[in-house]
Amino acid sequence: MSFFSYRMVQDAYEKLTDEDGKKPKPGDLIEVKCGVYKHWIVYIGEDNVVHFGGIGSGSGLGIIPTPGMKGTIKKEKLKDVVKDGKWKINNFLDQKYQPRKDDDIVKEACARVGSSLTYDVLGYNCEHFATELRYGKPECRQVKEAKLDFFMILAGVTAVAVGIFLKK
């Protein structure tokens, strides 16, 4: 095998492994790091994923959705969605919920391709969509963590304000 052929095979293999070197299996949730937020996609096999996003034209993540904006369920190649970003397999709710059968996840994901949904950052976003496919329950850790951060900041600000008020 020539160097160029070897490099092409190696590049293809690297694209199908996450940042930990793991290969996705049908039904796996994939977390894609996109700056301050994470985009969630569902691997369905043969380098294909299904995800809620791609708002706007073209492939991949599209523009950052705003509340009330319509989004589409898309089937795309994993490499086209993640581009050069970091991604990892993250079935983070497997200890909390029993995952659905891989075949059921893939069938439902494919059946929903082309559907249009309203994006709601707190109520139903790409993570809700992905976890609903895998576990049958829409859940979003990012929203829970953001709410906790908000309340921790609010509690800190309140404590400082009360402290200042009590000193007067």
The set of catalytic residues is 39, 51, 126
**Single-letter residue type at 103:** D
Closest C-alpha to 39, from 97, 99, 80, 98: 80
User: What are 116's strand-pairing partners?
Assistant: 72
Non-local (6+) Cβ contacts of 143 within 8 A are 121, 122, 125, 127
Three-state SS for 126? helix
What is the C-alpha end-to-end distance of the chain, expressed in Å?
A: 80
